[in-house]
Every structure is written in structure tokens, then in C-alpha cells.
Amino acid sequence: MGRNALVTGASSGIGLALSERLASDGYHVVLCARRAESLREVHRRITSKGGSASVEVMDVADVERSVRRIREIDRSLPGGLDLIIANAGVGERKGHVSYAWEAIADACHVNFTGAAATLTAVLPEMTSRGHGHIVGISSLASFGPLPKSAAYCAAKAGLSMLLECLRLDVMDSGVKVTSVHVGFVKTPMTEQSRHPMPQIMSAEYAADYIVKELAKGPATIDFPQPLAAVTWAAGRLPRGVRDLVQRGLKRVR
């Protein structure tokens, strides 16, 4: 029986690269996102190389509909879904004060609520089957506060904590749970960013690294080093020291 993966945010960036990488490893990949034409293009790229994929137009912020659809997909595939990657994500919406609700709403709805729904939609079914893997694409931004990124940092920190807790709940069931803390990746999301992005990598490199590490079933994947270690340590500095550093960062963000 083939293996089945579902990837949200498969129309662009890291999700697109992950989908192509998984398809080349023999997975049937369910490509989820809102832009149908972009998904169809990813589908064409995968099938032209002999891979298997299907297109699912889905807005993960529409949680009831997404959960219903993921359950239907799980039932329709032979053996069900083996791997679910909640990758769909957005930054803060521009054109508003960074701490206004209008700026932060999308990141809350998509990066946390949408991801939580995606990850848990068929988790009970996976535990009944005694296997499966759920993966959240979080961020090094979850390791500590950053200026002008309240919703992004909070949603990603919430996602990482959700995954840590879910891992405890299902740890003896045969289902694996992984939180991926990624640094800077060249994608449409970072295209407009003007602040320094140390150790920025291509989406293909990031996807290749993630898929190789996922095979080991780790609780977390934190990369690239040393940025991950430095960010983790910075998030644990005494608040007074951290505030000094953040004031500097606020000027360049």
C-alpha cells in the first residue's frame, strides 16, 4: 500500500518544495491551499516527473469545512493519511498598525487555529490505526518575542506548545508528532522583508532537510544551526537585557 501525505500551503514556498520532495519519495500528496491554479501547476510538476498528487482547494481558516474535508480525504485513501503537514501560514497583514487586530487577525486564524484543526482533524483515526505522523511548520520566531510580530510569534509559539502537548497525549499510540522550527527561507513570505535574514536558505534546501529529519520521527527539528541555538538562547535572556536587544531590532524591522 502506498503512503499518503497531506500538505497545507502547497501552492508556494516551503509547502510546494515539501510536496515535490515527498512525491519524489513515493508519497501520494494531497496538495491543499486556496489558489487552485497554483495548486494545479504544482500537480502538473509532480505528475510530469512520475509522482502522484491530488489538488484540494482549502482555506484552513475555515476550520469546520477543512476538518470535514480532511476526514473525507482520510476515509477515501487506501490506508488513510500517513503524514499531515500543517504548513499554511501568513505574516502580519501590512497597512495597519502592527499591534492592531486588523494586522494580526490572519496570523491568528491561519497559523494557529487553522494549523490546530489540520493537525487534529484525523488524529483519533491515526491513533486507532496505530500509526501516522503529524507535523507543524513552526518557526524560530516561536523561541522568544520579536518586535512588530506579536501574532506571528504568539501563533507559532502556540503551535509549538500544541504539538508538544499532543505528543504527550499520543506518545504510546504509534503516532509521531514533530514541531519544525525553521529559520529564514527564501519564499514569497520573505520577499518583501528588508531586515537582515542570517543563514537564509532556499525552500528546496529547507524541504530536503525537513523530510530527511522527519524519517527519524523527532519531537522537534530546529534549523539552521547556529541560528537556532542563538535564537533559543536569546529568548531566555533576562528581560532587561532582552529589551535592550529588541529596541535595536525594532529599528530595523
125-148 burial, b for 16+ CB within 10 Å, e for fewer?
bbbebeebbbbbbbbbbbbbbbbe
Tell the smallest beta-carbon distance from residue 95 to ligand NAP (Å). Answer: 17
Q: Which of 5, 6, 15, 121: binder of ligand NAP (CB under 6 A)? A: 15
> Could you say which of 42, 55, 58, 207 contacts ligand NAP (CB under 6 A)?
58
**Closer residue to ligand NAP in complex, CB, 137/166:** 137
Among 7, 14, 85, 234, binds ligand NAP (CB under 6 A): 14
Residue 6 engages ligand NAP in binding (rule: CB under 6 A): no
CB proximity list for 149: less than 8 A, separation 6 or greater: 92, 98, 141, 253
CA atoms of 65 and 191, how far apart (whole Å): 31
Q: Does 118 bind ligand NAP (CB under 6 A)?
A: no
Q: Quote the CA–CA distance of 217 and 108 in Å, as a whole number.
A: 27
What is residue 176's three-state secondary structure?
strand
Q: Where do the DSSP E strands lie in the chain?
A: 4-8, 28-33, 52-57, 83-86, 132-139, 175-182, 185-186, 201-202, 220-223
211 binds ligand NAP (CB under 6 A): no
Single out the catalytic residue among 27, 152, 205, 209. 152
* Grid cell digits, residue 186: 527564501
Stretch that binds ligand NAP, among 59-67, 72-80, 230-238, 239-247 (CB under 6 A): 59-67
Residue 152 is among the residues annotated as catalytic for this protein: yes
Please tell me whether residue 113 binds ligand NAP under the rule CB under 6 A.
no
Residues 6+ apart with CB under 8 A from 96: 102, 103
Does position 9 bind ligand NAP by CB under 6 A? yes
Tell me the site size for ligand NAP, rule CB under 6 A: 31
Active site residues: 152
Q: Which residues of the chain form contacts with ligand NAP (CB under 6 A)?
A: 8-9, 11-15, 33-35, 38, 58-61, 87-90, 110-111, 114, 137, 139, 182, 184-185, 187-190
